[in-house]
């Protein structure tokens, strides 16, 4: 991203504009997280597919074993769902960088803030809106 494009991204009052280096650092962090999340999903899906296609999986198990395996499978599915959600948010953040809308709060339309985005690059709400959301 060019210096003028990075500097055009919204910031909170009193913050310095984004520099291309700062934005590149955030983008690199997101891209490495995306790669790790895709790998984690691939492994999770492969493991789940292997469990579901094994015809003798669970044969002869007592009810407690069946319950434990069901709990574990549901836990694994919940983790995979969470990873998919994080992946989508990370990809959306990169798309917003490319579109020049990175750092705009989804709720109020104000700047999210550089420090918040550098700490949590997938943030879609400013601190005020996030606090309001969590109180509900």
Between 59 and 116, the more confident residue is 116
pLDDT at 8: 84
**pLDDT at position 97, please?**
92
Tell me what the pLDDT averaged over the chain comes to: 88
Q: Running DSSP on this structure, what letter comes out for residue 19?
A: P
Segment 17-28, tens digit of pLDDT: 999 999 999 999
Degrees (nearest 5) of the Cα angle 18, 24, 25? 95
Q: Is 111 helix (H, G, I), strand (E, B) or coil?
A: strand
Whether 35 has a pLDDT exceeding 70, the answer reads yes
Specify the pLDDT at position 123. Answer: 95
The verdict on pTM exceeding 0.75 is yes
What are the pLDDT digits (tens) for 46-98? 888 877 776 666 666 777 777 787 888 888 889 999 999 999 999 999 999 99
Q: What is the pLDDT of residue 62?
A: 75
- The HSE-up count of residue 84 (CA atoms within 13 Å, CB side) is 10
Higher per-residue confidence, 32 vs 11: 32
Alpha-carbon distance 26 to 93, whole Å? 10
Tokens representing 110?
């104000």
What pLDDT is stored for residue 3 in this prediction?
Answer: 45
121-132 average pLDDT score: 94
């Amino acid at each position: 991203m060019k210096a003028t494009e990075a500097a055009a991204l919204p910031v909170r009052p009193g913050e310095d504009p984004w520099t291309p280096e700062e934005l590149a650092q955030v983008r690199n962090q997101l891209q490495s997280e995306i790669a790790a999340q895709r790998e984690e999903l691939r492994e999770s899906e492969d493991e789940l597919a292997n469990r579901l296609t094994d015809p003798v999986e669970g044969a002869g198990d007592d009810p407690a074993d069946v319950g434990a395996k069901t709990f574990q499978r549901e836990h694994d599915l919940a983790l995979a769902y969470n990873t998919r959600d994080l992946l989508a948010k990370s990809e959306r953040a990169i798309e917003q960088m490319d579109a020049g809308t990175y750092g705009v709060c989804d709720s109020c339309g104000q700047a999210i803030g550089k420090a918040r985005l550098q700490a949590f690059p997938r943030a879609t709400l400013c601190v005020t809106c996030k606090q309001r959301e969590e109180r509900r």
